[in-house]
């Protein structure tokens, strides 16, 4: 059995030069990726954002839209990422009272030759950064953490779930 650390890094050629992976011979399959992340606040800021009482409006709904936009632009910010036609993108921001945090979940879908893990992770990151940007005037101590892939399906590497 091959250990995960024994697998070659696909974004480098035999001489160690960066390359975009050639997916032309791979079959098209339906691919779905889900990622999550968290942004944590002081108690006062959490309540303000949760209740939609910021001067900039409903921060959570705007962050959802920003996350979708971020997923669509992933190949612009991740150098070797393929430009993919997304067939679906959903971002959900929910308040988690006991953690004084918002949990951001992105689900991205395509039918193609390569996966959408990077698009899901980018969507979560952009949504969290949007929340930070919109509330930094009142709380600079916010923490963004826990950004990770939680599920993926489709493709040769098979399904993954935490």
**What value does the mean pLDDT of the chain take?**
90
* pLDDT interval class at 23 (50, 70, 90): confident
pLDDT value at residue 111: 95
The set of catalytic residues is: 133
pLDDT digits 0-9 by tens, 114-148: 999 999 999 999 999 999 999 998 889 999 999 99
Distances from the Cα of 71 to the Cαs of 51, 52, 122, in angstroms? 27, 25, 6
**Total residues belonging to the chain:** 162
State the CB neighbour count (10 A cutoff) for residue 110: 22
Distance set, CA 159 to CA 20, 33, 94, 115, 156 (Å): 23, 10, 26, 11, 9
Entry pTM = 0.89
How does pLDDT run across 60-105, given as a tens digit for each residue? 999 999 999 999 999 999 999 999 999 999 999 999 999 999 999 9
């Amino acid at each position: 059995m091959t250990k995960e650390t024994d697998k070659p890094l696909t974004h480098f050629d035999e001489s160690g030069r960066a390359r975009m992976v050639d997916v032309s011979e791979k079959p098209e399959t339906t691919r779905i990726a889900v990622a999550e992340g968290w942004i944590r606040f002081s108690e006062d800021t959490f309540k303000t954002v949760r209740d939609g009482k910021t001067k900039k409006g409903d921060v959570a709904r705007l962050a959802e839209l920003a996350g979708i936009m971020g997923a669509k632009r992933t190949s612009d910010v991740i150098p070797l990422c393929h430009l993919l036609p997304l067939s679906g993108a959903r971002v959900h921001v929910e308040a988690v009272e006991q953690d004084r945090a918002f949990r951001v979940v992105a689900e991205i879908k395509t039918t193609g030759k390569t996966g959408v893990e990077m698009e899901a992770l980018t969507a979560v990151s952009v949504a969290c950064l949007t929340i930070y940007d919109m509330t930094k005037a009142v709380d600079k101590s916010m923490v963004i953490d826990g950004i990770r892939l939680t599920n993926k399906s489709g493709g040769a590497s098979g399904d993954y779930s935490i």
